[in-house]
Each structure stands twice: as structure tokens, then as C-alpha cells.
Amino acid sequence: MHDGHPGAETATVAHLGVGAFHRAHQAWYTQRAAPAGESWRIAAFTGRSGEQARLLQARGGRYTLLTRGADGDAFTQIGSIRSVHDGSDRQAWEAVLADPGTNVLTLTITEAGYALDTRGRLDTAAPAVAADLRHAADPEAPIATAPVRLALGLAARRRSVAGPLTVISCDNLGGNGAVTRSVVLGAALALDPSLARWIEQSVVFLSSMVDRITPRTTGADIDEVERATGIRDEGTVVTEPFSEWVIEEGFAGPHPDWASAGVRFTADLGPYERRKLRILNGAHSLLAYQGLLRGVDDVAGAFGDPALRALVEEYWEAAAASCDLPAAELAEAIAATRTRFANPRIRHLLAQIATDGAHKLPQRVVPVLAHAVRSGGAVSAPASAIAAWAVAGGHSETEVDALLAGVDESGVMRAMRAAIGREIRRLDADPIGAVPRAEAVRS
């Protein structure tokens, strides 16, 4: 692994999508990874609005990270972001990507930012993508979509003969490096097939798995930072103590010594992605739908309900059994998640988690239930998460079947359907769950 000490003052990680999560995660890791003498800096670009850039420019890119633990707060000044730009500043973007001192590009552009079509490829027919491709030849034209912006930045790099680049996606998409590669090559092919060939030879796209809850910063948070530090920091970011970053191996060149800050590098990211989806996200979904039916509004409140906590513990047994990592590592992940769920000072709203369940549950809970059926394990807890989604949102049997569509074996599908049906009947008979369901999130 090449974790370089390039020695130049311009050793740069470019970043696209400089929101709160990036500042609580990748920028924090980069600061922690900077021993004396290592000169890595971040050149950050906003994804959509330029407002975040203006906010951070007020303090030269510095900001306060407020880490909110169950027992108190910690305040850290983060200085790894040395320049901040409006993402629509195409000249600055192409200049940073064309700089030989830029060795890594990280992305937090959200799932929607990849502009995928129904086949998982770049949607070149989408109006914003089509407009960017039409206007790309005009250097004054602002570019709105990330795939086209990336392709144009890489075109500038090719012209400057700046050498190889490593691109790392930090968004919650399975195989996010491959997704990034696909949409960037799609944009490049539409612009210039020779650019696509150069990208295939010169740019490495790595997947990564990221995790850290970052609630929206409030005025009260900014006031608290001012009381504690004397700094009125409108760029304050609030986060939890827990953080995780796992990156695929295979860098094309130097990168910060992130391993010294706790980042894990692996040849196979799949087991870590599945562990996070099933143990963390699946339990989140279970708490969200079951909690909303009981009139609870956040994770800590739902996890504090003895019946729901027992259900989550039962779910975790099934989820761990479905994962292909060592038992001790899975136990450690569950223990960390218990601590996170119980933290009352990080308000993670169930309504937010409950949105878009039709897309989330097939990744998070359906594989856990399918594994329990195949292995003869306990099915009630994972089935109850899907049942609560159906009851809370008023979803039909057809919609439940659509969730299970990825399960090939008809016998397993029938057993899953039966288990979910039992849990729906149990919820319908449960007086605790008879909270006015019109208030539940319909996802």
C-alpha cells in the first residue's frame, strides 16, 4: 500500500460535496492522519449550492467539530480543508484536478448525485445530464451534475499530463467505486471516447464504506460552541463519537496515512458493507417502523423501550448469523451499535430513517430474513421489521412481494411471506401498536 509522504506543500485531496458529513468524517480523518512533516490538505468543492463554500470561507476553511457523547461534549478545531470553492466554479475545479499535486479525489454527492438510470448506468437522457453534455464544450458554462463535472475535471488532468488519480466514493451505495467508474465513463464516452480510454488506463475508482451519524446543526449548537470556545462558528458540525471508514486497496499513487487514524484497508469490501447494512441499518429500520407505531420519534427513545430493545437484540442474532465476518468482529460491531443507539444526545429521527423503505429494506433486512429461513434460524424479528413497514405505511401484499423479488427460491419466498404475515397479524392485535397510524410515515 502506498501511503505516501509526497513532500510537497501542495499534496492535495480534492473533495466534491463538502457538506456536514464530509467535515465530520473524511476531513476529520485527514487531520488525525497528519503527523509532523506531512503536508496533505483538502481542496473542497460544494456539490450543489455555493452557500456552504461561503460559510466555510469565513474562517479560511476551518470549523468546529462538536462531538456529542452520552456523557458530554468535545470541541475540535479542524483545519485540514485549506481551500473551499463553489462547485459551479469550473475553472477552479479543473485547475485542482489538473494539478500533479492532487493525488486523491473523494466524493460525498449523495446517492442521487450519481444520476443513475433504471439499469444502474448514467442517465444521459435526464434533463440536467443532457444539458451538461450539450454545454460541456463551453468553458464558461456551469456544470451541475457530478458525473459530467468529474469527466471534465479528468479531461483537464489528461491535458496537463498530471499522472494517475485515485477516486474514492464515500456515499451509501453498495460497490460505490464501480458505480462511480460507470457514470464517469458514461459521461466521458458521450464527450470524447478517447477520454474514456484514458480514464480506464489512468484513474482508479475505489469503493469505501463510511459510517458516522451527523445531525443537522442548530442555532443552539452554534451558541454552545461559542460559550465553550469563544468562537462564533456558523460552520459548526455536530457528530457522534463513533466513526468508521473502510477503503478498498489499490491506490494509484500517494495518499494520506489514514490507517494511522483508524481507517481500515481491505481487498474485499463486501463483507463490511453487508455487516453495516444488516447490523446497523437493518436495526435502524426495525426501530423506525416499530417505534413510529408506538408513538416514539427518535432512535434513543425507541431503543429505550424494553420490548423494542429485546426485539432488536433478537434481530441482531439473525443479522450476525447472515454475515461472513469473524464472530468476535460482529460482536464488537453490535456492542458499538448498542452504545450509539442509546446515546440520547444525538437525535436521529425515526421519520427520517423510515423514508424510502421500499428501496432500503431489500438491502438491509430481506437478506437477513432469507438467511434465517434457509438456515432454520429464528425469523420473527427480521420479519417484524418488514411487517411494521407494511402496517405503518399501509402497504399491500403486492408491495411486500416486491420487496422480496430478489429472492429466487420459491420455497424460501413462501416461508418469508408467511413469517411476515404472522408478524402483521401480531401487530394488528397489539394494543401498543394501535397508535393512530395516520401519523406513521408512509414510505
Residue 378 in domain:
yes
**pLDDT(431) > 80:** no
Residue 47 to residues 17, 110, 148, 275, 294: CA-CA distances in angstroms?
4, 9, 12, 29, 38
- Within a 10 A sphere around the Cβ of 94, how many other Cβ atoms? 21
Rounded average pLDDT over 299-326: 97
**pLDDT class of 245 with cuts at 50, 70, 90:** very high
261 and 305 together in one domain: no
Q: What pLDDT is stored for residue 62 in this prediction?
A: 95
315 and 369 together in one domain: yes
Each residue of 402-415: pLDDT tens digit?
999 999 899 999 99
- Give the C-alpha separation, 443 to 440, whole Å: 9
Q: What pLDDT is stored for residue 44 in this prediction?
A: 97
237 and 368 together in one domain: no
**pLDDT(146) > 60:** yes
Looking at the 3D structure of the chain, how many domains does it have? 2
Q: What pLDDT is stored for residue 118 in this prediction?
A: 86
Rounded average pLDDT over 320-346: 97
Q: Which of 188, 208, 70 is nearest to 133 (CA)?
A: 188
DSSP H helix total and E strand total for the chain: 20, 12
Q: What pLDDT is stored for residue 2 in this prediction?
A: 39
Residue 113 in domain:
yes
Q: What pLDDT is stored for residue 438 in this prediction?
A: 37
- Give the C-alpha separation, 68 to 49, whole Å: 27
Q: For 340, phi and psi rounded to 5 degrees?
A: -65, -45
Boundary residue ending a domain (267, 287, 313): 267
- Give the C-alpha separation, 166 to 105, whole Å: 6
Mean pLDDT for all residues in the chain: 92
Each residue of 40-78: pLDDT tens digit?
999 999 987 778 888 889 899 999 999 999 999 999 999
Residue 76 in domain:
yes
Q: Which of 320, 347, 323, 355 is nearest to 334 (CA)?
A: 320
Q: What pLDDT is stored for residue 436 in this prediction?
A: 41
Residue 7 in domain:
no
Q: Residue 107 in contact with residue 181, Cβ under 8 Å?
A: no
pTM assigned to the model: 0.89
Q: What pLDDT is stored for residue 414 in this prediction?
A: 96
Q: What pLDDT is stored for residue 10 in this prediction?
A: 65
Q: What percentage of the chain reaches a pLDDT higher than 70?
A: 94
CATH of residue 363: 1.10.1040.10
284 and 236 together in one domain: no
Q: Which of 167, 258, 212 is nearest to 21 (CA)?
A: 212
- Within a 10 A sphere around the Cβ of 168, how many other Cβ atoms? 25
Q: Which domain holds residue 25?
A: 12-267
